[in-house]
Amino acid sequence: MDKKQIVEKILAQITREAENLARGAMHAHRYATDSESKSEGKYDTRGLEASYLAEGQAKLAAESSQAVVLYQSLPLKSFSLGEAIALTALVELECEERRQYYFIGPKNGGITVEHDRKTITVITPTSPLGQLLIGRKQGDYIEMAMEHTHREYEILSVR
């Protein structure tokens, strides 16, 4: 699998998200400053609530824009056989004869992209799974506790 194409798909998705958040922040700001949001009494908090919403939306939009810049300049590492998992690794895991693919990214964990008919999930090094994978190698096993059960995963490949 071509990691550059995978990162391009991740970048396209977070760029769309950043644009949507920026539009949402702009609309929230307009509403917060609109005459309709002006307080009509001491218990009317529409304007205050709208300003909090606008501030939160603006922060999310800024974080999302930072993630876009981060992924645009992300150096992709080629992993050799036996090399430990680190940032930008594409990891293939197997559990109970089911294969899963993960890209270790700097931000935006939880995003999924389709590539070569496979679903690839972005995880960060600080996520629970990311913490288990960082430093491990192809052929290692990890164990995760999930919903009162323990599952063992084999690391099939690190690219």
Residue 71, token pair as written in the block: 């992924």
* pLDDT recorded at residue 31: 74
Query: How confident is residue 30, by pLDDT bands cut at 50, 70 and 90?
Result: confident
In this predicted structure, the answer to whether residue 4 has a pLDDT above a threshold of 80 is yes
* pLDDT recorded at residue 44: 63
Query: How confident is residue 86, by pLDDT bands cut at 50, 70 and 90?
Result: very high
Average pLDDT over residues 61-69: 94
In this predicted structure, the answer to whether residue 39 has a pLDDT above a threshold of 80 is no
Give the CA dihedral 97, 128, 81, 84, nearest 10 degrees: -160
Average pLDDT over all residues of the chain: 91
CA atoms within 13 A on the CB side of 100: 14
Beta-sheet pairing, 141-146 with 98-104: unpaired
Q: Which residue has the higher pLDDT, 39 or 69?
A: 69
Average pLDDT over residues 51-57: 86
Q: pTM of the entire structure?
A: 0.86
Strand residue runs (E) in the chain: 90-95, 98-104, 112-115, 118-123, 141-146, 149-158
